[in-house]
Chains A and B, each alone.
Chain A
Amino acid sequence: MIGYIIRRVLYAVPILIGVCLFTFVLFYLTTSPQDLARRNLSAKNPTPQQIKDWEHTHGYDQPKWKQFVRTTEGLFLFRFGKSDGVGGQRIITRIKQSWLPSFEIASLSFIASLLVNLTAALVIAYFRGTYFDSAATTLCVIMMSITYLLYIIVGQYTLGRLMRITPVGGYLPGWQSLHFIMLPVVVAVVAGFASDTRLYRTFILDEINQDYVRTARAKGISESRVLFIHVLKNAAVPVITNTVSAIPGLFLGSVLLENFFNIPGLGNYLVDAINNQDFAVVRANVFIGALVTIIGFIMTDVGYALADPRVRLE
């Protein structure tokens, strides 16, 4: 198993290099360093010399392949360098400031979603074949058909403006942050509820029809024990795959939620950077995003092996 993990981590290196190359190429298709320099120099009409100087300080005057090698090396060593924007803030400082709100929202909504959806799916599966079951699955399809944006807008309007339970936006550090991230987390959980619950229900029902469930019942085990011990343990395998493969999706959530509720997280930082064409920041953020995703993939495989004794990692 450890050997397997090491090999997976090593395989992550070419993937990350690919991601860097991808961002690099994409960036040069969008814009040129001269544009960047003009945009970021404080002078209204910068002289060619100023532009050259700017390019030099940010390393855009080197040959493209050298730039690529230098920046990629920096990313792998977590030396993100300075922002291309006005002021040239150190990227790592900003990341240190803004990872926590993102992490809070993403992890809380991830855990809350998993618990809520799995419980709901088990309850629905318990009542399989009844009117409750068909009503619940239909409700899931209905909820799946509503856009994420509407959940955000309506969530903010009802909880924030009408009922005044939560602030409509903003963020304060420390324990107060819980107050501010409550609304985004609730929105994320509600918005993601339907599709996952429906999927988990299918996973559970697939297991319920297996032979070993009949054996368990023949032992005289109660229906709830059959469901919560025997079926749940087996259904855990596809559930793990599904939840972890949803990790990249958390970025979508964080980008939208942070932007909408004005929370100074990584998602917000990134959208700002893209709008300002701040390549250094985009590069760093995409790299971190890919890194988190790849770690998620590796964790899936490990979780898979832990949940299912038939799986041997080799």
Chain B
Amino acid sequence: MYVLKSLLTISNALPVLVAATFIFALTRMKKQPLWAEAFRRIGRNKLAIVSLVVIAIYALIALTDSFAWQDNKDKPPVSLLMRVFAAAHVQRERTYSAPFAHYTTGEPHPHKLKGWHLLGTDGAGFDVLMQTLRGCHTAMIIGGFTSFLITPLALLFGMSAGYYGKLPDDIIQYIFTVVASVPSILLQIALLLVLGPGVINICIALGLTGWVGLCRLVRGETLKHRDREYVRAAKALGASNTRILTRHILPNLLPVVIISITLGFSGLVLSETILSYLGIGVPAGTGSWGNMIDGARLELARDPVIWWNLTSASMALFILVLALNFFGDALRDAIDPRLRSN
């Protein structure tokens, strides 16, 4: 009974909510001709479909890692992913061991391993495959939640600057010029020192530096649409500014914004590794490819070289980012043939 009760937590509800919103938005979009056409074009693009499947697999793994429940009151919650590994009898070892090895590596007297590890184990004896899969969760949160923070901020500021012009435009332009003038890495370091480590704090830091680019884009697009005939016509019919912005201009901005977010997602996932390197990344104990790659700096200097940690984490990161990039390009080509990359 307690198991069921511990399932009903906010952290378990959140991923379901996100997935549900996403699917709802997709079904709504499918009814609009522009998006229906875009979906059809993506459907014809094999590379885009493969990329989408890859992204979906990562998202699924991330989901299994976000559902956690307690077995009884005294134990900490354990995620579905960890339970799968526990059920497969993947145990913690003493220290490093190579993939498929039977003995540990790097000890003067190698110990026999308790189990069998597809991608070996890391310094703390954890199974590298499990650690790598746990990284999906972090990557998805950093990409997804940061985009979620950036978008409303950029839309609000960008649209009001572009639409109202004059003083609001001057103020907003001033703010984003100030933010853009500080090299973003400095800002991120500083913010993370203020906020302290943590996945959500990383999202906030990345969001506060990342909104500027999207905001500038939205401002420019709004400026373009503001003087179009259909906006003038709406004005002539007596539509309020809010109505023009939300009903007329916003739908026209969405394609550009969605393309920009999709292509920006991969950049956000990549910046996690850089923050980890600077020691302000995800705290230890949370799955993180950044920490795994960062750790490889010392591991490569060891004898024998510990390469599997670096390889698994960077391959996992690489495949996700590659799929995101391919999908983003396909999406851009499908939505706006004028912006085609080829």
Contact = CB atoms under 8 A, between A and B. Distances in A.
| A–B contact, 8 Å CB criterion (strictly below) | yes
Contacts of A181: none
Interface in B313-341: 314, 317-318, 321-322, 324-326, 329, 341
B189 A150 contact: no
A80 B193 CA distance: 23
B300 A286 contact: no
A41 interface: no
A186 interface: no
A286 B186 contact: yes
B273 interface: yes
Given A15-B178, A137-B342, A202-B341, A145 B185 contact: no
A259 B280 CA distance: 14
Nearest to A21: B178
A157 B317 CA distance: 20
Contacts of B322: 141-142, 145
A257 to B, nearest CB: 11
Contacts of A145: 266, 318, 321-322, 324-325
Interface size of A as a range: 35 or more
B261 interface: no
B278 interface: yes
A248 B210 CA distance: 13
Given A141-B329, A147-B273, A293 B194 contact: no
B270 A30 contact: no
For A145, A255, A277, which residue has the most chain B Cβ atoms within 10 angstroms?
A: A145
A98 to B, nearest CB: 16
B181 to A, nearest CB: 4
B142 interface: no
A270 B186 contact: yes
Contacts of A134: 342
A146 B184 CA distance: 20
A150 B314 CA distance: 8
A75 to B, nearest CB: 13
A271 B190 CA distance: 10
Interface string B294-326: 101100110000000010001001100110111
B177 A147 contact: no
Interface on chain B toward A: helix, strand, loop, or mixed SS? helix
B182 A290 contact: yes
Contacts of B178: 15, 18-19, 22
Contacts of B183: 248-249, 251-252, 289-290, 293
A146 B180 contact: no
Given A19-B182, A256-B277, A274 B189 contact: yes
A100 interface: no
Contact of A26 (B194, B294, B324): B194
Interface size of B as a range: 35 or more
A30 B189 CA distance: 12
A137 B182 contact: no
Contacts of B182: 19, 22-23, 248, 286, 289-290, 293
A256 B329 CA distance: 28
A128 to B, nearest CB: 9
A22 to B, nearest CB: 6
A278 B41 CA distance: 54
B266 A255 contact: no
A105 B124 CA distance: 37
B186 A147 contact: no
A23 B293 CA distance: 31
Contacts of A204: none
B189 A271 contact: yes
Interface string B168-207: 0000001101111111111001110110000000000000
A255 B185 contact: yes
Interface in A262-314: 270-271, 274, 277, 282, 285-286, 289-290, 293-294
Nearest to B47: A138
B82 interface: no
Given A26-B190, A147-B293, A260-B297, 10 more contacts: A22-B179, A134-B342, A145-B321, A147-B270, A147-B321, A249-B183, A252-B183, A252-B185, A289-B186, A290-B183
Interface of B: 174-175, 177-186, 189-191, 193-194, 266, 270, 273-274, 276-278, 290, 293-294, 296-297, 300-301, 310, 314, 317-318, 321-322, 324-326, 329, 341-342
9 contacts: A18-B175, A26-B194, A30-B194, A141-B329, A146-B318, A157-B300, A202-B341, A289-B186, A293-B182
The 3 A-B residue pairs with the shortest CB-CB distance, nearest first, are A251-B183, A18-B178, A145-B322
